[in-house]
Structures are given as structure tokens and as C-alpha cells.
Structure 1
Amino acid sequence: MQDSASVPTKSSSLSLWTKDFMLISLTNLAMFLGLQLLLPTLPVFVDHLGGNDSHVGMVIGIFTVSAMIIRPWAGFMLDTKEKRGILIGGLTLFIVSAIAYNWAEGIVFLLLMRFLHGLGWGACTTAAGTVAADVIPRPRMGEGMGYFGLATAISMAVAPAAGIFIINNYSFTHLFLISAALAFFALVFSLGIKYQNIIQAAANAPKPTLYEKSALRPSLVIFFVTTTFGSIVSFLVLYANQRGIDNIGPFFTIFALIMLISRPLSGILVDKRGYDIVVIPGLLLLVGAMLILAASHTMWMFLLAAAFYGLGFGSVQPSMQALAMRDAEPNRRGAVNSTFFSAFDLGIGGGAMVWGILAQFTGYSLMYAFASIPGILALLTYIMLGKPKRLD
């Protein structure tokens, strides 16, 4: 289906809360709710199927690797061909694979479905981020991405705990069907968006590419950040169980509630005061969170780590996404999102696999201590590669 033109008038050019922005934000929220139901519960499902820590890392990792594979192609298509089709196609793959998890009786089939799910996730999230960038006014990009990214915080506030509740009180079948239903709601929301036409670049303008070089700096920072996140989504539930905590759901709730507050505030602060005041403290908080996790034996220590990580991640992630998008030409936004989220995926997937192997030799506590190292590398990368100023 051909994308429709959406040209803002002068009086509305700086308006953020338009119909299209609200619809793409709702689409993003439903997508992330469907995903976050699965993040803390799939490791338990792997254990249910007879898998080990390495299998957990593979199940998390193959999802992010397949998402990373599809993102360059999706970004190129978003810049040159079609936006609606990429978003709807990705959501359709999400729905099909989530339903198919019900038929998994072994690790191999589960890995195949995770690969398919990752393809859908990579396509729909790259498309959603690009559509959001289309409808957010450039001077309000930090604020807009902060609100758009609230989908992650809101979904983490309810979905992980809800997922754990569902498998403890109902079944994995209920879990997978609810995840698929949420992706279906995302698809319904996406149908109401008035998509912008593909903007034809001037003859001397850079051509659309699979990756965007200008986004490499924030993408490298987010790669190190999400490497730490890979340890949380893959092994936190198993680590907490080892510490005698059967329901670690409140960790994700505190983490998400702190993010819910920090994301929009950090976006406004970035637009007004620049990136340093948000990013540097945020990265230090991430390092502190990993070290607290390594020493955690009680619920309150886990919750303290959640607060640190939520404030750090909620500050750094939308700031890096805004930095990646702020100077992008309209015909390069798909490539920017592809580059940024490929690094995001590679950090989670690569981290999950590395931490899974490491945990078998060191145990979870020491693994989380090592997981502070990528946070330090993210801080060094941000400082050494140059600290951007605010956009006037």
C-alpha cells in the first residue's frame, strides 16, 4: 500500500502530540508489552524443556542476531520503498512466531521460532522508530524520543511480573497467546497511521545505505550498555531463584517505574542543557547497578540495583537514540535506526551468549561483577569519541 503524504502546516510544525505520534507510540507500547512478557519467562521455558545456561544464552542470542540481520535491509527499504508494509510485515511475523512457541517440544524448534521472531522484531521496531522520527519535530527530538521510549518503561513495569504470574498460575500456552494478542493490537494501531511519503533526495545528497556512519558513535555506546542488559534479561530470574527469591517480578517493576520518570525528563534536559549532564551520570549508575547485583542476597538489594539501572538506562538509551536521529536526513532515518538498533540487538544477544558461557564457570554473582566492564567501556567510548552539545 502506498504511503500517504503527511505535510505539517506552519502552525503545527512543532506540535508533538499529534494523532500519528500517539498511534505510533501505542503501536510501540503494544509491541513491547508482547515482548516483555517473554524476556524473563523464556529462560524458565528453556529450563522446562531440559536446557541449560548455554541454551538460555542461545535462545536469547539467536533472537537478537536475527533481528540484527534484518535491520539493514529493513532500514534500506524504509528509506527507499515502503514504511507501512515493513511495520505490518514485522508484526505479522511476531504474531505467528509467538503462537508457534506452543508447539516447541525441544530446543531446536524453539531456536527456529526465536530466529523467525527476531526477524519480525527487527523489522517492526526499525520501522516504528523511523515513523516516530518522521512525526517528531526536529527541535523536540530528545523530548519526543523520550516519550516514545516510554513504551519500554511501561511494558517493563507490568509485563515481566505479569509473565511470571502467568506461568506460575496458568501455563506457557496462556503466556504465548497473550503475547501474540498484544502484537495483534499493535498491528491494529499501526493501520491508523498516516505514513509520510518517501522523500526523494537531491541529486547531490547521500544515497540511502544499509548503515549510517554518523550514527556509529551513539550506536557503539548503546552496544556496550545493552551488553549489560543482556545479563539481566537472560539470567536474573535464575539468579534470584538461586538466592532464594521465587518472584523477582518487583525488580522489573521498580526498574521500569524509574525509567518511566527518567525518560521524558532526560529528553527535555538533553534538549535544553546538552547530553553530558544526562549521559555521564547515567552510565555511572549502570556500572553501580551491576556491582550491586553481584553482591545481592536480599530483595532490597535487588530493588536497589533495579533503581540504579532504571535511572541509568532510562537516561542513556533515549539520549543516544536522539543523538543518532537528530542530524539524520529524512532519506537516511531508516539506516540510522538500523545502525542504532543493530548495535542494541548485538549487545543483548552477544552479551547473553557470553554471559551464559561465563556463568557456567564463575556462577551468576561473579558474572554480574564482570558485567560492569561494558558499562565502563560505554563511558570511555562516550568521552573519548567526543561529547555532543545540545541542538539549538
Structure 2
Amino acid sequence: MDKPRLWTRDFISIAITNFLVFTTFFYLLVTLPIYTLQELHGAKTEAGLITTVFLIASILTRPFAGKWIEKAGKYVVFISSLIVLFAASALYFIPQSLIGLLFLRFFHGIGFGMATTATGAIVADLIPESRKGEGMGYYGLTLNLAMAIGPFLGLTVIQQTATSLMFSINACCAFFALVAGLFVKLPKKTFMPEREIERKTSMKIGDYLERSAIPVSLVSAFFGLIYSGIISFVSLYAKEQNLVEAASYFFVVYAVVLLISRPFTGKWFDIFGANLIIYPAILCFAVGTFLLSVSNTSLLFLASAALIGVGWGTVFPSFQTIAIQVAPPKKRALATATFLSIYDFGFGIGSFIFGIAAANIDYGSIYFYCSFLIIIGIGVYYLLHGRLSSHSIVKKVKKEVA
């Protein structure tokens, strides 16, 4: 019996759209702090705030985006979000002050929150049920590729060209994301009964958060807080250490190692359970961050990227898998939304906190202290989830499915 097609025009289009949306996110994540300091003459604290405002807008938008999807439909919210993203990207030429840039970042974050919610809902409909795991795996790779290409492109452009070209490239990526999105067609679905629609549109906390996923989501937020300092300021740190050329390749090495290691770590997670994978990965993350704090050569700098890629590249998807596993089958989509929203909150707050810290101490010291915070994170993980047996989780899932 032939497998149902996975690589349809619609799936390829939504994958390209997701790739371009996240490429612009990571592209601006590493360039705007530099732009804020050099062009707007802002403080290091304000450079961190640029990311925080964006993610807060995204977090606040997601619950409402889910409601908009139920009322207006996935495609309407999807295309609307891409229009907002393109409009925001086209407006980066205008702000000449930090306040203006912050307002624009908030507006941009609204579009990002809408887009990430809608694309996740649409791709789940486009992938055949019998190939769901395979399809989501390929779809997830678009984020990993964006994580490498976005920062590499951004740092290369800002080091060698004017900021006008930097913003032009960003606007072009947003435009092509919109074009790719227009090629997506959703499969026809049967409409829900009126009673079901009323129940789904009620305003209850359970509509927005899955309680079983909250503990591991809080763990992810703790580590996300730390990781935000690494990804948001590594370009500035590289400049401080006279490693500007190596900075562009930091994210390439990070993503390549992540892509190579993920298939193996994913299988080991299934075979040996979460704890035997997560604890070594956290240690690897800590060692990589420590090496980053003492990097004075390109080799050491890129070695830290490889270790962080293996460590964080294993920890984050493992936490997300746990969030899905512990939730009842019917609430796994909500568990995913809960996980990402809480994680984004930690990431956004971290960017602001490390921006304040950078105003008082150098980036190397920040990364040094971060490596010890990651070690403390082992205890946080143990208390909130690690002490639970992975076997009990599997039994719980099997019982719920039965």
C-alpha cells in the first residue's frame, strides 16, 4: 500500500513560509542590538529590551490568535499575520529613536505571534496522519535552518554594508514569506456543530494553558532565560573579543551540530528515557557556555558553539516532547502552546535582564555566571520533573490512550 504524499505543494509552501518567518526573527535578533548601540546610541540595557518587547507582544497575541483562528479561520489569520510581518519589516527604515523602534518591535511581535500560531495549526492539517512524526520532523528542520542562516546573514550584512541594505533584506524575506503563504491551500474540513463552537469559544483559563505541561514549561523558561543572553549578545561579545569574523559562523556551527545530533538524541530519548539524555545534555550546555566565557580564539569560540548546539539542541526538544507526553492526547496541541508561551516569556525576560547586567559587567563574566546557572538548572529540572520516572509517564500515556 502506497504512503500518502507528504511533499505536496501546500506542505512545501508552509515549510518555506515558516523558514522565512524564523529567518527574519533570528536575522533581527542578532543585528538590532548592534544597530541600537551603534546607530541609535542606546545603552546595553535598551539593546536587550528590543528583544523583550518583541517576545512579550508575541506571547500576549498567541491566546487571542487561537480565538481568531476559531472565529475567522486558519487561512485568514495566517495571511493576515504575514501581511503584518511584511508591513512591520518595511517600516524599519523609519524609526530614528529607540522609542519608535520599540513601538515597531511590539507591532512586529504581534504579527510573529499570529504567524507562529497559525502555521503550527495549518501544518498539522496538511501532514497525513500516518506520516505525522516524519512530517513534523521535516517541518521542525526549517526552524533549525533559519537559526543558522538568519544570524549568519545578519552578522555578515551588518559588518560589511549599510543598515539600509540590512533592512531591505529583512523586508524581502518577509515579502517572500507572504508570497509562499499565498500558495498554501487548506484541506476542506467539516464544520463543528454549533454547540461545540460555543464550548470552544468560552473564555476559560483551561482554553489557554494545559496544567500538566506547566512544570516542564517552567524548566524550559528557566533555561530559555539563560539561552537568551547567549543568542542575543554573542555578536556583541565577539566584537568585544575581536572575533567578529568567527561570530558569523557561530550559529552555522551551532545549527550543523544540532542537525547532526538530533536524530541520535531523539532515538536515545525514546530508548533510554528523558533523564538519561537530559542530564548529560545540560552538562554539555554548561561546559559550552563556560568555554564561551573564556573564548579568546576563533577555535575555542566555535568549539563552544558546537557544545551549546549539542546541549541546548537536545535539551529544548526533549522538554517539548515531555510537555506533549504528560498531557492527555486530546490536549497535546494546547500543551505545545503552553510550552512555547511560557518558554518565550522566560526568553524575553532574559534578554532584558542580561541587557541590564551587561551595563555593569562584561559579556565574558555574564557567560561565566550563566554556566553555573545552567548547573543549578539541573536541580530545577529534578524538582519539577526529573524525579518522576520516565516509565510512569509512558504508563500514563498508554492508560490514557486505552
Under a length normalisation based on structure 1, what TM-score does the superposition of the two structures give? 0.86
Partner of 1:50: 41
Worse-superposed segment, 327-336 or 181-190:
327-336
| Contiguous gaps of at least 5 residues in structure 1 | 1-9
Does residue 30 in structure 1 map to residue 20 in structure 2?
yes
Letter in 1 for 2:154: G
Partner of 1:5: none
Contact 1:126 1:334 in 2 (8 A): no
Structure 2 counterpart of 1:312, which letter?
G
Find the partner of 1:41 among 7, 12, 31.
31
Secondary structure of residue in 2 paired with 1:41: helix
Match of 1:216 among 211, 214, 217: 214
* Counterparts of residues 156-305 of structure 1 (less than 5 Å): 156-191=147-182, 192-195=184-187, 197=189, 200=192, 209-247=207-245, 248-271=247-270, 273-305=272-304
Q: Deviations over 1:166-218 (max 9, x none)?
A: 22232222222222222222223333242564874997x99760222232133
User: How far is 1:387 from its partner?
Assistant: 5.2
Q: Does the C-alpha gap of structure 1 residues 327 and 139 become closer, same or farther in structure 2, counting only changes over 3 Å?
A: farther
The residue type paired with residue 274 of structure 2 is: Y
What is the CA–CA distance in structure 1 between the aligned matches of 2:298 and 2:175, rounded to whole Å?
A: 35
Query: How far did 1:113 drift?
Result: 0.5
Q: For the residues of structure 2 that align with 1:212 and 1:314, how far apart are their CA atoms?
A: 24
One-letter amino acid of the structure 2 residue matched with residue 318 of structure 1:
P
Residue pairs, 1:243-392, within 5 angstroms: 243-247=241-245, 248-271=247-270, 273-325=272-324, 332=331, 335-384=334-383, 385=385, 386=388, 388=390, 389=393
CA shift in 2, pair 1:375/1:93, >3 Å:
farther
Gapped runs of 5+ residues in structure 2?
A: none
Instruction: Report SS of the residue matched to 2:242.
Output: coil
Q: Distance in 2 between matches of 1:382 and 1:351?
A: 18
Please give the per-residue CA displacement for 1:317-346, whole angstroms capped at 9, x wherever unaligned: 223333334576787565334322212221
Q: In angstroms, what is the RMSD of aligned CA positions?
A: 3.1
- In structure 1, distance between residues paired with 2:297 and 2:329: 49
- Residues 322, 144 of structure 1: alpha-carbon distance in 2 compared, 3 angstrom cutoff: farther
Checking the alignment, whether the CA contact within 8 Å between 1:145 and 1:321 is kept in structure 2 is no
User: Compared with structure 1, are the counterparts of its residues 280 and 350 closer, same or farther at alpha carbon in structure 2 (3 Å cutoff)?
Assistant: same
Larger deviation, residues 113-122 vs 142-151: 142-151
1:7 is matched with: none
Deviations 1:37-68 (A, max 9, x none): 21211111101211110110111111111111
Write the letter of the residue equivalent to 1:226. G
Change (3 A) 1:18 1:197: same
Provide the rounded CA distance (Å) in 1 between the counterparts of 2:323 and 2:188: 20
Measured after TM superposition, the shift of residue 127 of structure 1 is: 2.0
User: Which stretch shows the higher mean deviation, 149-158 or 135-144?
Assistant: 135-144
> CA offsets per residue over residues 62-94 of structure 1, 9 Å max, x none?
111111111121234446652222222222221
1:152 aligns with 2:132: no
The count of residues paired between Structure 1 and Structure 2 equals: 382
CA distance in structure 1 between the aligned counterparts of 2:190 and 2:168, rounded to whole angstroms: 35
- In structure 2, the residue matched to 1:6 is none
Q: Which has the larger radius of gyration?
A: 2
**Partner of residue 72 from structure 1, selected from 63, 69, 89:** 63
Is the contact between residue 61 and residue 350 of structure 1 (CA under 8 Å) also seen in structure 2?
A: yes
| Residue 119 of structure 2 is aligned to residue 128 of structure 1 | yes
Contact 2:30 2:235 in 1 (8 A): yes
Higher helix share: 2
CA distance in 1: counterparts of 2:274 and 2:224, whole angstroms: 19
Q: Please identify, of 326-335 and 378-387, the stretch whose mean Cα deviation from structure 2 is larger.
A: 326-335
Mapped to 1, the partners of 2:271 and 2:190 lie a distance apart of: 31
CA distance in 2, matches of 1:382, 1:16: 36
CA shift digits 1:197-254 (9 cap, x unpaired): 4874997x99760222232133223212221221123211111111112221111111
Structure 1 partner of 2:103: 112
Moved more, 76-85 or 44-53: 76-85
The residue that corresponds to 1:63 in the other structure is: 54
Query: Shift in Å at residue 151 of structure 1?
Result: 1.8
- Kept after mapping to 1: 8 A contact 2:288/2:307: yes
Q: Relative to structure 1, is the Cα distance of residues 309 and 362 closer, same or farther in structure 2, using a 3 angstrom cutoff?
A: same
User: Distance in 2 between the 1:37 and 1:244 partners?
Assistant: 21
Mark the CA change 1:143 to 1:199 in structure 2 (over 3 Å): closer, same or farther: farther
Aligned AA (2:118): A
Which whole-Å CA distance do the structure 1 matches of 2:190 and 2:125 have between them? 10
Q: 1:148 to 1:352 in 2, by over 3 A?
A: same
What is the SS of the residue equivalent to 1:350? Answer: helix
Q: Report the 3-state secondary structure (helix = DSSP H, G, I; strand = E; otherwise coil) of the residue aligned with 1:361.
A: coil
1:282, CA displacement in angstroms?
2.2
After TM superposition, the score normalised by the length of structure 2 is 0.84
Question: What displacement does 1:19 show?
Answer: 5.0
Residues 146 and 264, structure 1, Cα contact 8 Å, conserved in 2: no
Tell me if the contact between 2:288 and 2:305 (Cα under 8 Å) persists in the aligned partners. yes
